[in-house]
Amino acid sequence: MNSLWRRLFRRPLAWGSLVVLVILYLAMSLCEFLAPYDPNHLFEGHSDLPPNLIWYSPQEGLGPQVQTVALVNGVTREYVRVRGEYTPVKFFVPTDPVKLWGVIPLPFHLFGTDYGRDPAGKAQPVFVMGTDNLGRDVFSRILYGSRISLTIGFVGVFISLGLALIFGGLAGYYGGIWDWIIMRLCEFIILIPGLYLILFLRSILSDHMDTGQSYMLITVILSFVGWPGTARMIRGMVHAVKRQDFVSNAQLESMPSLVILFRHIVPQMSSILILSVTLGVPGFILGETALSYLGLGIVDPAVSWGSMINRDATSVSNLLSFPWLFAPGIFLVIVTLAFNFLGELLRDWADPNWKETA
């Protein structure tokens, strides 16, 4: 374990990735507190507003603040800034009541403005990453959306890799009739066009479902379609490893087959397993994105990065006119890269022949 930490600090990319992921997952778990607004709150008159957080103005001086804007063209959503009208951004402001994890009532959010509680009615809301066409805060939506996007990968990889390990491992180790049955099952599932299977399952099951259910459903469907390929790969590797002397040696020591499989054979594949986890996580995030794009994934009012990208960032004109709507895509890229850099480190660490280079 020590050597893992040592190696971690020698690699700025891996180190940075870990920090980024920790921050993102922390933010995910605390999103009620960190997000200034409800993800579905519609700010009238603020549709498609660009990010409006600024750090300096003559009136307010240095500090986070928001300049008031006025809509001049309702069709092209053109705004002009109003001279001299600024709203300071405050920390720990009491706003609409929310509960952390749906349990602990929160008296305030991390930051916000006096919008809605200002007697003069002049205060403006703060939009760190702008708003979408309904006037919803993109930043809050990204935070709330990460609840789905950042966990679906882990849950999905856990299910599909678990299935692949069990089935592939058993097929490879025992061989014979079990191998035949499991491999035919895999081929059968691979034969079914994945996308149509997903569409089919989703459409017969999705009628009256809330967010949680459809989220679970998507995860399970994605893992169900994903495991056979990995299982075949694992089977092949088990086949190769089980002929090695140390497996015979373990058999001579009368170890139970399952112990041999999981203590001796599976660890030999750890680098490939780590790789498939770190590549699988973004894969599942993207898979959810694809499903959302087809309208079969997370749909309004629930929010995920995939559904946001699908909703706001799939037309060129949208991207040209309102580039801030691509923010969830940037988060997606960052998370994917971070997992890959971290996976690379873990793979080297798991490799017994890897030598530390100065």
Partner 1 sequence: MNELLEVTNLTKSFQLHAGLFAQADQRVYALGGVDLTLRTGETYGLVGESGSGKTTLARTLVQLEAHERGTIRYLSSDGSAWEVRRGDRRNLERYRQEVRYVFQDPSSSLDPRMTVGDLLTIGARQRTRGKDRAGLVARAREGLDHVGLRASDWDRRPSEFSGGQRQRIALARALVTRPRLLICDEVVSALDVSVRGQILELLLDLKNRFGLSMVFIAHDLDVVAYMADRVGVLYGGRMMEEAPSRLLVEKPLHPYTKLLFDSAPGAGIRSRETSAQKLTPTRALTGCPFAPRCPLVIDRCRTEIPLPRAVGPQSGRLVACHRVEAE
Q: Of 212, 267, 295, 323, which lies in the binding site for partner 1, with binding defined by CB under 8 A?
A: 267
Q: Of 212, 256, 295, 323, which lies in the binding site for partner 1, with binding defined by CB under 8 A?
A: 256
Distance CA 174, CA 166 (A): 12
Distance CA 292, CA 288 (A): 6
- Written as six digits, the tokens of 330 are 């940037």
Binding mask 145-164 for partner 1 (x = CB under 8 A): --------------------
| 268 interacts with partner 1 by CB under 8 A | yes
Distance CA 260, CA 250 (A): 7
Cβ partners under 8 Å of residue 130, min gap 6:
48, 49, 50, 51, 52, 138, 322, 324, 325, 327
| 255 interacts with partner 1 by CB under 8 A | yes
CB-nearer residue toward partner 1: 35 or 247:
247
Distance CA 290, CA 309 (A): 10
| 248 interacts with partner 1 by CB under 8 A | yes
CB-nearer residue toward partner 1: 53 or 255:
255
Q: Of 105, 121, 176, 352, which lies in the binding site for partner 1, with binding defined by CB under 8 A?
A: 352
- Written as six digits, the tokens of 112 are 């916000």
Secondary element (H or E) of residue 104: strand 104-106
Q: Of 252, 316, 320, 358, which lies in the binding site for partner 1, with binding defined by CB under 8 A?
A: 252
Q: Of 264, 281, 292, 343, which lies in the binding site for partner 1, with binding defined by CB under 8 A?
A: 264
- Written as six digits, the tokens of 265 are 């054979």
| 244 interacts with partner 1 by CB under 8 A | yes
Contact stretch for partner 1 (CB under 8 A) within 15-23, 109-117, 248-256, 305-313:
248-256
User: DSSP characters for 292-346?
Assistant: HHTTSSS-TTS--HHHHHHHHSSSHHHHHH-GGGGHHHHHHHHHHHHHHHHHHHH
Binding mask 102-141 for partner 1 (x = CB under 8 A): ----------------------------------------
Contact stretch for partner 1 (CB under 8 A) within 29-37, 50-58, 121-129, 259-267:
259-267
DSSP structural state of residue 76? T
Distance CA 275, CA 272 (A): 5
| 270 interacts with partner 1 by CB under 8 A | yes
Could you tell me if 166 and 181 are in contact, meaning their C-beta atoms sit under 8 angstroms apart?
Answer: no
Q: Which positions touch partner 1 (CB under 8 A)?
A: 244-246, 248-256, 259, 263-264, 267-268, 270, 350, 352-353
